[in-house]
Each structure stands twice: as C-alpha cells, then as structure tokens.
Amino acid sequence: MAESMLKVRDLSMRFGGLLAVNGVSLDVEEREIISVIGPNGAGKTTVFNCISGFYTPTGGNINYKGQEIHALADYKISRLGMVRTFQHVRLFSQMTVIENLLVAQHRHVNTNLLSGLFKTPSYRKKEQKSIDRAVYWLKKVNLLEFANRDAGNLAYGQQRRLEIARCMVTEPGLLMLDEPAAGLNPKETKELDELIVSLKEDYNVSILLIEHDMNLVMGISDRIYVINQGQPLASGTPDEIRANPDVIKAYLGEV
Amino acid sequence: MLETALYFIQQLLNGLTIGSTYALIAIGYTMVYGIIGMINFAHGEIYMIGTYISFIAISGLIPLLGIEYLPLILIITLAVSMFISSTYGWAIERIAYRPVRGGNRLIALISAIGMSIFLQNYVRIAQGSRDIAMPSLIQGGWSFGPPEGFQASLSYMQLFIFIATFITMGGLTLFIARSRMGRACRAVSEDMKMAGLLGINTNRIISLTFVIGAALAAVAGLLLGLYYGVTNPYIGFIAGLKAFTAAVLGGIGSIPGAMLGGLLLGVTESMTSAYFSSEYKDVVSFGLLILILLFRPTGLLGKPEVEKI
Amino acid sequence: MKDKFFPALIAGIVTFVLAFPLLGLSIVADGLTLGLEGADTKTLGYIALASLAVFFFQLWKSNIVAVAKSIPLPKKAYSSPAARSQSQRDKREKLFTLIVVALALVWPFFASRGNVDLATLVLIYVMLGLGLNIVVGLAGLLDLGYVAFYAVGAYSYALLYQYFGLSFWVCLPLAGLFAAIFGFILGFPVLRLRGDYLAIVTLGFGEIIRILLNNWTHLTGGPNGIGSIPKPSLFGLEFGRRAKEEGNVPFHEFFSIDYNSGYKVIFLYLLALLLVLFTIFVIRRLMRMPVGRAWEALREDEIACRSLGLNRTIIKLSAFTIGASFAGFAGAFFSARQGFISPESFTFIESAIILAIVVLGGMGSQLGIILAAVAMTVLPELAREFQEYRMLMFGLMMVLMMIWRPQGLLPMKRRHMELTNG
C-alpha cells in the first residue's frame, strides 16, 4: 500500500493528570472522506487540535504527505495544506464576507509593503486574482449576494458555509471539519452533505470529519474511526461500524 | 573576607525589607488577577494613598490626641489607614471596573490606567506635589561585626517590617484557607460562573478581594512610609510596577507566589544597587519582568494555562 | 424607597471617607513636631455637599435616570443612507478631504503666530495618535510604552546632529528607521504575550528607555538634555536671521524680503502638516492592503488566523514596527521644533496622553483621532486656569469613556472592501 496522505500513529495528549487522548491512530488517503465519531468528551476535538498543531501532542507521530508535523507550529501546518473549521464558528465577524476570504489568502498575496503602497501592477493583479478566487467560492457556497455584508450578520448556516469557503480558498489538500452540521436544519444539512461530497469529487480534497449527525456520517464517509474516552474503539466502513457491538455499547451504555 | 560577607548580609537584609513590602502590594495584584483576570493598574496608587493616610494619622495622633505610646500610635494608624485605603479599593472597583467587567480586557485595563492617573492627580491637588517628610518613629537597631571595620546592622524598623509583614501574611493565609469567605474566594477564582450558580455572591467576593488587596497595600504604605520617612503623589506608579513584577515573578494568581516574588525582587534590587549601580536598579527589575514573561510566563509558582479552542 | 436608603447612605458615607482625610486635612511640619491642619470651611462645605449629593443621587437614581431618558436626544447628525455605495462615499470623502487640506494650508498665513505654533503641536499629536492607532486600534495590541519610540526618534536626530552634523532631512528617515528597529527588537520576543502582559512589558520598556536616557550622561546629556538642535531647512534655505550652515542662505535673503520670525513658524507648521498627510496616506493604503486586513483579522480572532496559515508574530511585528516608525518621525520633528530635548518630555504620562487620544477618537478611526488630538491639545490651552486639573480630568475621562463609550466618540466606520461587479 502506498503511503497515506495523513498518517497518525499512537497519538496521545496529556493535560496535567488527564490523559485526554491515548494511542489513537488513523489514516487518510487522497480523495477520501473519513469520519471520527464518539460520545461527547471522547477526545475527538483534542485529536483535531493535535493534528492541526494547536496542541503539541505528548506522544505519537503525525505525518502529512511524508513530512513529520507533530512539532510544527499551527500556521505552518495549515500552509502545508491542512486547514480546519471549528466547533464554534470562528469568523472575523466585523469584517465583510469577502474580506474573510481575502484574509485567508494572505500568504498567497503576501507581496512586499512597497508594492502595495504604490499599487504596482503586479500587486493589483495578485489582488484581483484573490478576489476572483473568493468570488468563485462564494458562488459555490451560495453566498455571493452577501459578499459585502459583515460576516457576523449572516445566519448560522451561512456562517458555517462561509467558514468552509474560507478554508477552500487556501486550496487545501486536507480539510478538517469539526461538527459542521451542528445547529443546521435538515435542509441545510442536506446541502452540506452535497457540498462535502462535491469538494471530494470535484476538487480532489480529502476530508476529515467530526460529526454527531449519524445520517450524514454514514451517508458520505468512506471509513469511520470511533473513539471512546480518548482510546480508539473501532474503525471500518460505515456498515462495519453499524454492526460493531462495541460501538453500540459505547453509545448506549452498558446494556 | 568577613567584611565582604557582612556587606553581603547587609544587602540581603535591606533587600528582604523592601521585598517583603513589595510582596504585600503584589498580593493585591495577584488576588484581583486570580479572580477577574485584570491588572488593577491603580493598585500602586492605593499604596501611595496608604502612605499619606498613615502620615496624616500619625501627625494627628501625637499632638492632637496627645497619644505618646508608640505601639498604640502604630496600631491606630494601621487601622485607620487600612480602613480608608480599603474604602478606596472598594470604591474603585465599583466605579471603574464593575461596569466594564466581562468586556474586552483592554477596556478594563484602560479604565484602570485612567483611574491611576486620576488618583495620582487627586492626591497631588489635595496634598500638594512636594515631598512630605516624617521623622523616624522607630529608631535604633543592632549592629554586628568588628568595631573598626564594616558593620552590618538590623534596625528595629526593619525588624518591625519583617514582623508586621509576617503577621499580615499569616493572617491572610489563615483567612483564605479556613474562613467561609476565604473558601468562597477560592471557589470564585476557580470558576466564577459555577460559584455564582452555587449561590456565592460573586460581586461581594470580588469587592472583598479589592478590599483585602487595598488593606495590604495600606500596611505596605505605613511600613515603607516610615522606613523611607517620605512620600509624594508619584511613588505609586513605580511601586505598582515593581509589585506587579513581583506578582508575575511568583506566578500571577498565586498568593505564595506573590510573597516569594516580592522577596526575590527586593533582594535582586538591593544586590544590583550594591554591586552594580543604583541608577540601573529599575532597569534590572523591568528587564527581569520581561525575561520572566518570555521564558516562564506562568512564573515560579503559577499554574500553566491551557488555551481553549 | 427604604431598600434604597441604606445603599445610598453607604454611598454618601463612602464619599465622605474618601474625600475628608485627603482634602480636608493636611500635614503641617514645624521643625520636628508634626501637626494637622483642617481645611477652610469652604472646602469642608464642599466635601459635605458632595457626600450629600452622592447620597441623594443614589436615593433617587431610578427617577433621575427616567427623567434623563425622557429628554429627547437629537438624532444622529448625519446618517448615510444604506443605498449609497462605497465609491460614492469615497467621492464625497475625497472632496471633504481636499477642502480640509486646502484650508489647513492657507490658514497659517492669516492666523497669529501663537496659534500656528499650537497647531504644529496638535499635528505632532495627530501623528503620534495615528501611529499608535495602528498598534492599538487596528492590530488590537495595547502598547503603553509608545513614548519610547518617540524618544528614540527625537534623540536620533539630536545625537546624529551633535556627533555627525547630519541635517534634519537626512535624520528624518533615519529616525523612523531607528524607531522601527527598536520596535522590532522589542516586539520580536514580546509579541507572543497575552494582551495585558504585553501592555505591562511595553510600559516597562518605556521606563527602561527613559532611565537609560537619564543616566547615560556622557552620550545623552542625562537630565540636562540636548540643546541647540537646528530647525529644518527648505532646500538649503534657513529660517534664522543668519545662515548657520556653511553654504546655506537665509530664506529672507534669498527672496530679498524682510526677515520675519513668523516664516519659521509657518514653515514648521506646513512641514508638520506634510508629515501628517503622509502618515494618513500611508496608513489608509496599509488598511486596504493584505497586511492591514490581517491586522484586523488578528484582532478579531487570533485562533482562526493561525488556522488559516497566518503567522501572527510577523503580522503583529509589522504593526508594531510600522507604528513605531511613525513615532520616530514625530520624534525627529519634535526635537527640530523644540530645539531642545530631555528625558522629561518622554514620561509615561505622554504615552497615556497619546493612548487617550486614540481611545477618545474611537480606536481605529482616523478622523476621530485627528479631532481627539485637537481637543486634547487645544482645550487645556484655552482653559489655562484649569491647567492644574488637566491630568485629573484626563484620568476621569479615560474611565468614563471606557464605561459609556468604549468605542470612542467617533467609532471607526470600517472601510469595507466591497465587491462592485459580482
């Protein structure tokens, strides 16, 4: 088997006396949708925080496209092409929708100060290019008409979509979504479902998903990892997970 | 050889004297920070007001009331100074901090800076900007060392500072550890929302914190006022900055940390003055502050903070 | 009524306790014997009156608030209709700016010398306010030691002139550069710190710089400062009665007009105006550039920025350094205007005043900062008899602003980047 895109081995994270994550391993291949599920407080978000570099894991390895990244600063990790959303939407709420997308492209238009001060042609060209890319993604997530509105004034579901668009303008290889369907109504969830599948099919992005909505998870995932109390419990295809007695027990408690 | 050692001991004693008063002021910073996470920038001014009230009380007690017995003078002065300074601490929180609590941290800090400037100028206008001097009430001391060479000395004033600081700190520690209010204080600093849900009047506990901090600053005001024998409206700024440094050094939020940090800072300062240069002693303290924040932002005894995402 | 009586009584008593010992008593030292002196009856009366006022205010607070609310407030003076697009607003703004700049250029030729001089001082504060605004208002970093960079700029020119005889025009960019370097050196390690820690560290840094200037006597002259710093020249034309530099010609001789010391004042004013316009231009450009957007994004949500690959240290550092460089320019101009500088001019209070300008002006808003700088500098001059109370009012104003209008008098209207052709 070829090297996985993302390879996590024996990840553990300790906060003082609390072992929040213990021995979690997972793989994500190119163009795959992988879900991480588990009861509340199982340590799913902590796994995300470790992979995206917000926490430095206390044990284990994380490898992205052949590069060890577990000791890398968060912003460097996202520059490699792994970007994430947050459980509680984190937009720049007093900036407009389009500005949110432009900020995300900061490193693509990172021109020097002088060319910006004099508005040189190359600067204008780069700026225009990032605006074009932003417009493209706004169309994709149906937010173009709100481009000039403050991000904080959008409806909740729109904010969720904007957060995904903001990740996509950075042209990632792996998109990490932390409970993207939380708080969405059934119609919005369905749209999200289609969006995620399209990201994989049309843009060759792999997706790592934390989600509680089992319909969504079972419907779109290629494989699923189950975590319980910080420990890996099971992994496999949606059908295998559905039939796994350990998983059922973990969710329903001891019967 | 003996002379060098005595000189060193002398500097150590001086440093511990100053340091113990820094610790008293630092506790005010650390308690407030522990509970509401703000830097009470005006705390140094409370200390300054403490020196003024002490001087006024002493000047009133001796000639007006005719009290001559020194311990009685000191006790009454301390009580008056602690009461009035605490009132200041309480009022400052009610007026300048409570309305902005829960908002952006920088807003509270700017409000505190404004309060600090206000108090400094209030005292300047009320009492004049010139130094006010106080003859030393506690004289004498012990000297040791060879009679012809350098003699190290421990003055009774220094001894008084050590004892007073020790008693105050002991009292505070007991209060925090044993009393109902002390327990509530710890609960609020652990988790304010939860403590509120459990029926603790968090507003009252926050007020109490300011009152205690101000009372300790008043003790420091009396002690340092008598030690230096002089005060002016501007001493609060640098003293506050020093005490804040001490609080950070020990680990902000931690009361034993503030005590340790104060003593360490005092000794560092007196050693710098003695062996390097007294002009640069403030540079060394602030440099120390910067270094600690860079390399050990949790201080010596502080708990690490986990970033919530 | 009854449940309000005790809190009101306590408030009244507290007022008395706060006011009486410090305002009503003062120490009289007669040789070695100490005594107390009560204030005159007028002061005591005021204290009693204040305590009563607080008592009754607390007692009837709800009534007073209700009455105050029933008074109709004038509607906001201007409210731009939502339909007006950014480009239309831009046009009006350009026109407005042009008129103001034209007035500012012409005005000094008709005004008195003293007023022009005062206006120059205002412009220095405008520049400092705008510079600090980058750091505090845009990037959201509280810098309490901004005056240190101002000092670096001022001493750069003074020292470079004293030791190397460099002219103002050479030193101006160098002063900005040195201040920026200081900002970089300080910022690089400390910008990782949390907001309030950063504030205290910058405050400590400001004090360190002042102490160094005070004690490094053989270089800086210590508390005595540095004197006879020359005024800038206009392409080699000097504004003194006689040229000081070899080869320079006095301005009045060159144009064969009578010598008038007013020319110098006007020239300095125009120079300051030029520097301010330059500052405004640069900052406006920066705000619409990626780096400006990144400053604001970082202020809004640092964690989101990191997750998107923005390097927060570099971005904060750029705000800090650029902000510092404007303080450097202002400093160089300040020492040229004063002709004399000493560490006295660079105390913490100066930092607090600049911060107050930014806060009062509405953090982030350029127009607000300009108006605030005017208010902060001109009002104390107008009310000289209140000079004594200036700093008292300052402190009070900072507290009240934070309670009632933390967004400032003229809060920043975000200059939105808008999409015109969807």
- Distance (Å, rounded) from C-alpha B98 to C-alpha A151? 31
- Distance (Å, rounded) from C-alpha C335 to C-alpha C167? 12
For residue A45, the chain B residues in CB contact (below 8 A) are 309
Query: Scanning every residue of chain C, which has its alpha carbon at the shortest distance from the alpha carbon of A112?
Result: C291
Closest CA to C21 of C9, C34, C39, C33: C39
For residue B307, the chain A residues in CB contact (below 8 A) are 54
pTM for the predicted model, two decimal places? 0.86
A24: part of which helix (H) or strand (E)? strand A18-28
Which pLDDT does position B107 carry in this prediction? 85
When pLDDT is averaged across residues B265-280 and rounded to a whole number, the result is: 89
Q: Are residues C26 and C144 in the same domain?
A: no
Q: Are residues C172 and C65 in the same domain?
A: no
- Quick check: helix, strand or coil at residue C266? helix
Domain of C32, in residue numbers? 2-70
- Distance (Å, rounded) from C-alpha C322 to C-alpha C309? 22
For residue A49, the chain B residues in CB contact (below 8 A) are 309
Closest CA to B119 of B59, B30, B52: B52
Q: What is the ipTM of this complex?
A: 0.90
Which pLDDT does position C412 carry in this prediction? 62
Domain of A199: which CATH number? 3.40.50.300
- Distance (Å, rounded) from C-alpha B30 to C-alpha B26? 6
- Distance (Å, rounded) from C-alpha C391 to C-alpha A159? 46
The DSSP output letter for C301 is -
Q: Are residues C30 and C100 in the same domain?
A: no
Inside any domain, residue C86? no
Q: Are residues C154 and C293 in the same domain?
A: yes
Distances (CA, A) of A197 to A165, A181, A212, B205: 14, 14, 17, 54
Q: Are residues A76 and A107 in the same domain?
A: no
Q: Are residues A62 and A119 in the same domain?
A: no
Query: Scanning every residue of chain A, which has its alpha carbon at the shortest distance from the alpha carbon of C282?
Result: A117
Question: Under the phi-then-psi rule, with left for phi > 0, alpha for psi from -120 to 50, and beta for the rest, what region is B251?
Answer: left
- Distance (Å, rounded) from C-alpha C9 to C-alpha C316? 50
Q: Are residues A157 and A141 in the same domain?
A: yes
Inside any domain, residue C271? yes
Q: Are residues C324 and C387 in the same domain?
A: yes
Per-residue pLDDT in tens (0 to 9) along chain C, 422 residues: 667 888 888 888 888 888 888 888 888 776 666 778 787 888 888 888 888 888 888 888 878 777 777 766 554 444 444 445 667 777 887 888 888 888 888 888 888 888 888 999 999 999 999 999 999 888 888 899 999 999 999 999 999 998 888 888 999 999 999 999 999 998 888 787 777 788 888 988 898 999 999 988 888 888 888 888 888 877 767 776 666 666 677 776 677 777 777 778 888 999 999 999 999 999 988 988 888 899 999 988 889 999 999 988 889 999 999 999 999 999 999 999 998 999 989 998 899 889 888 888 877 678 888 988 988 888 777 767 777 888 888 888 888 888 887 777 666 665 556 666 54
- Distance (Å, rounded) from C-alpha A151 to C-alpha A162? 8
Inside any domain, residue A139? yes
Contact between chains at A86 and B307 (C-beta distance less than 8 A): no
- Distance (Å) from the alpha carbon of B118 to chain C's nearest alpha carbon: 4
Q: Return phi, psi of residue A170, to 5°.
A: -80, 0
Inside any domain, residue A129? yes
Question: Are the beta carbons of B129 and B233 closer than 8 angstroms?
Answer: yes
The DSSP output letter for A108 is T
Q: Are residues C59 and C104 in the same domain?
A: no
DSSP for A37-81, please give it.
Answer: E-STTSSHHHHHHHHTTSS--SEEEEEETTEE-TTS-HHHHHHTT
Q: Are residues A194 and A255 in the same domain?
A: yes
Using a CB–CB cutoff of 8 Å, tell me whether C388 touches chain A. Answer: no
- Distance (Å) from the alpha carbon of B136 to chain A's nearest alpha carbon: 51
- The residues near C85 (Cβ < 8 Å, ≥ 6 apart) are C418, C420
Q: Are residues C303 and C393 in the same domain?
A: yes
Q: Which of C47, C54, C196 to probe by mutation at the B interface, max B CB count within 10 Å? A: C196
Residue C63: Cβ-neighbour burial (10 angstroms; 0-12, 13-18, 19+): exposed
Query: Which of A171, A186, A220 is a domain's end point?
Result: A171
Residues of C (14-43) whose Cβ lies below 8 Å from B: 14, 17-18, 21-23, 25-29, 32-36
- The residues near C17 (Cβ < 8 Å, ≥ 6 apart) are B83, B84, B87
**Of the partner residues B306, B307, B309, the one whose CB lies closest to the CB of residue A86:** B309
Which pLDDT does position C85 carry in this prediction? 63
Q: Are residues C253 and C215 in the same domain?
A: yes
Contact between chains at A78 and C308 (C-beta distance less than 8 A): yes
For residue B252, give both structure tokens.
């902000």
Query: Which of A119, A146, A171 is a domain's end point?
Result: A171
Domain of A111, in residue numbers? 92-171
Inside any domain, residue C84? no
Q: How would you label B143-157 residue by residue, b for 16+ Cβ within 10 Å and e otherwise? A: eebeeeeeebbbbeb
Inside any domain, residue C291? yes
Closest CA to C198 of C288, C291, C292, C299: C299
Using a CB–CB cutoff of 8 Å, tell me whether C305 touches chain B. Answer: no
Contact between chains at C392 and B125 (C-beta distance less than 8 A): yes
Inside any domain, residue A87? no
- Distance (Å, rounded) from C-alpha C414 to C-alpha A96? 9
- Distance (Å) from the alpha carbon of C403 to chain B's nearest alpha carbon: 6
Helices (H), A66-155: 74-79, 97-104, 113-117, 121-140
Question: Are the beta carbons of C296 and C138 closer than 8 angstroms?
Answer: yes
Q: Are residues A114 and A185 in the same domain?
A: no
The DSSP output letter for C234 is B
Q: Are residues A147 and A183 in the same domain?
A: no
- The residues near B80 (Cβ < 8 Å, ≥ 6 apart) are B53, B57
For residue C175, give both structure tokens.
């002063």
For residue C193, the chain B residues in CB contact (below 8 A) are 293-294, 297
Q: Are residues A116 and A163 in the same domain?
A: yes
The more confident residue out of A41 and B26 is: B26
Contact between chains at B121 and C196 (C-beta distance less than 8 A): no
Q: Are residues C233 and C332 in the same domain?
A: yes
Q: Are residues A207 and A248 in the same domain?
A: yes
Chains in contact with chain B (at least 3 beta-carbon pairs closer than 8 A): A, C
Closest CA to C380 of C349, C404, C344, C408: C349
Contact between chains at C297 and A83 (C-beta distance less than 8 A): no
Question: Are the beta carbons of A12 and A58 closer than 8 angstroms?
Answer: yes
Number of domains in chain C: 2
Inside any domain, residue C111? yes
Q: How confident is the model at residue B164 (pLDDT cuts 50, 70, 90)?
A: very high
For residue C279, the chain A residues in CB contact (below 8 A) are none
- Distance (Å, rounded) from C-alpha B1 to C-alpha B6? 9
Inside any domain, residue A158? yes
State which amino acid sits at residue A204: N
Using a CB–CB cutoff of 8 Å, tell me whether C314 touches chain A. Answer: no
Question: Are the beta carbons of C285 and C273 closer than 8 angstroms?
Answer: no
Inside any domain, residue A64? yes
Find where tokens 């599920």 sit: A37
Question: Are the beta carbons of A152 and A59 closer than 8 angstroms?
Answer: no
DSSP for B181-192, please give it.
Answer: HHHHHHHHHH-H
A23: part of which helix (H) or strand (E)? strand A18-28
Q: Are residues C22 and C135 in the same domain?
A: no
- The residues near A22 (Cβ < 8 Å, ≥ 6 apart) are A12, A230, A231
When pLDDT is averaged across residues A221-246 and rounded to a whole number, the result is: 90
- Distance (Å) from the alpha carbon of A244 to chain C's nearest alpha carbon: 35
Domains and CATH numbers, chain B: 18-130+155-295 (1.10.3470)
State which amino acid sits at residue A72: L
- Distance (Å, rounded) from C-alpha C60 to C-alpha C51? 14
Contact between chains at A95 and C304 (C-beta distance less than 8 A): no
Number of domains in chain A: 2
Inside any domain, residue A86? no
Residue B190: Cβ-neighbour burial (10 angstroms; 0-12, 13-18, 19+): exposed
For residue C298, the chain A residues in CB contact (below 8 A) are none
Contact between chains at B294 and C190 (C-beta distance less than 8 A): yes
Inside any domain, residue A189? yes
Question: A126-130, A193-197, B205-209: which has the minimum mean pLDDT?
Answer: A126-130
Q: Are residues C38 and C114 in the same domain?
A: no
Query: Which of A154, A171, A188 is a domain's end point?
Result: A171
When pLDDT is averaged across residues B176-192 and rounded to a whole number, the result is: 87
For residue B25, give both structure tokens.
């002021």
Find where tokens 């919005």 sit: A188
In chain B, the percentage of residues whose pLDDT exceeds 90 is: 50
Q: Are residues C256 and C174 in the same domain?
A: yes
- Distance (Å) from the alpha carbon of A90 to chain B's nearest alpha carbon: 10
Inside any domain, residue C415? no
Query: Which of C18, C40, C70 is a domain's end point?
Result: C70
